[in-house]
Structure 1
Amino acid sequence: MSPRRARRAGPFDRGDKGAARPVGAFVPGLDRTEDWPDGEWRVRRLTGGAAEKVYRCPGCDQEIGARLPHVVSWPAWPGGEDERRHWHTACWRNRLRHGPGRSRY
């Protein structure tokens, strides 16, 4: 395979040091823990180059296109990574303003 050819991400992705880790696992230095009125969240900011798929934002119900920077968040409790969601960055910041019904949370 050519070194310039992008590889498709599998069930594991690579951290800064190249060690394989499950997608959604908390990685200090890469992920942050944020306290919000609706609870404690693990948050990972993805650059456009890291986003290879199209996702649906739970905040606005619009698509997050491939190669667009966005936020991935999940509850900070054990097993919360199973509830991981991809958000537009602005939708994540403003989700509490819109009230229930526009979000999955």
Structure 2
Amino acid sequence: MPRSHKRRPQRPGDDSFDRLLAGWKRTESRRGADWTVQPVSAAQAVKDYTCPGCGRVVATGTAHIVAWRADGVLGDSADLAARRHWHEHCWRIS
């Protein structure tokens, strides 16, 4: 039987190479607190957000940083729900 050359739909657990490269989480200490920081590539940025550092829009298609408290007292789910999208420059100078 001949092989099909159709692309298989991507399953929820499958990650592209770009997503893996952009998705490296790290922990940083800033302003006396620990923060989980995850880069978002331009390809992954599909919504507009307001940067808490400068108050301007992080536009769709712009690589940026997502940060949330790593040591919050309300637990991981509350910390993750309170995450914020920052311009890379704004995060570096904060």
Alignment of 1:1-105 (within 5 A): 18=14, 30-77=24-71, 78=75, 79-95=78-94
Q: Distance in 1 between matches of 2:28 and 2:54?
A: 21
Q: Distance in 1 between matches of 2:87 and 2:25?
A: 17
1:30 is displaced (CA, Å) by 2.2
Q: Distance in 1 between matches of 2:51 and 2:24?
A: 21
Partner SS for 1:90: helix
Q: Distance in 2 between matches of 1:84 and 1:69?
A: 16
1:87 is displaced (CA, Å) by 0.2
Partner SS for 2:46: coil
Alignment deviations for residues 46-66 of structure 1 (CA, whole Å, 9 cap, x no partner): 110010000000110000110
Aligned-residue sequence identity (percent) comes to 35
Misfit runs of 4+, over 3 Å: none
Alignment deviations for residues 76-96 of structure 1 (CA, whole Å, 9 cap, x no partner): 03231121000000101111x
Q: Considering only CA atoms, is the larger Rg found in Structure 1 or Structure 2?
A: 2
Name the TM-score, length of structure 2 as normaliser.
0.68
**Structure 1, unpaired ranges of 5+:** 4-13, 20-28, 96-105
Alignment deviations for residues 31-76 of structure 1 (CA, whole Å, 9 cap, x no partner): 1111223310000001100100000001100001100000000000
Larger RCO, structure (CA 8 Å, separation 6 or more): 2
